[in-house]
Amino acid sequence: MSTSNNISTQPSNTVVLASTIAKQYIIHLPVIFIALGFIGFLGNALTYLQKDIRTNPCSIYLFCGSIADVTNLLYNMLGNYLAAAHGVYIPWVKLPNLCKFYSFFLGFLPHLSINFLVMAIIDRYASTCAFTARIRRLNYINIVPWLIGITILLSFISSIRSLILYDYQDGKGCVPTQPLLNNILYTIINGTVQPVTMCIFVFLTFQNVRKSRQRVSGTGLVNPRRTRNQFISMILTQILATCVISLQWMIMYIYYFIPVQTPRTAEQQAIVSLFYSLTNYCYYLNNVKSFYLSMLTSKLFRKTFVKAFIKFLPRHQHQR
Looking at residue 221, its pLDDT comes to: 42
Beta-strand pair 173-176/166-169:
antiparallel
Helix ranges (H only) for 128-175 are 144-159, 161-165
* Least confident range of 39-43, 120-124, 248-252, 309-313: 309-313
pLDDT band for position 115 (50/70/90)?
very high
CATH superfamily of 16-211+225-306: Rhodopsin 7-helix transmembrane proteins (1.20.1070.10)
Residue 234 reports pLDDT greater than 80:
yes
CB 230 within 8 A of CB 295: no
Say which residues have a Cβ less than 8 Å from residue 97's Cβ, sequence separation at least 6.
168
**Rounded distance between C-alpha atoms, residue 289 and residue 72, angstroms:** 13
pLDDT grade for 4, boundaries at 50, 70 and 90:
very low
**pLDDT reported for residue 259:** 67
Alpha helices, DSSP H, located in the chain:
2-9, 13-24, 29-48, 57-72, 78-86, 91-94, 99-127, 144-159, 161-165, 179-188, 194-219, 232-257, 266-283, 289-297, 299-311, 315-319
C-alpha–C-alpha distance, residues 73 and 287, integer Å: 7
* N residues, the chain: 320
Find out whether 267 and 149 touch, Cβ atoms under 8 Å.
no
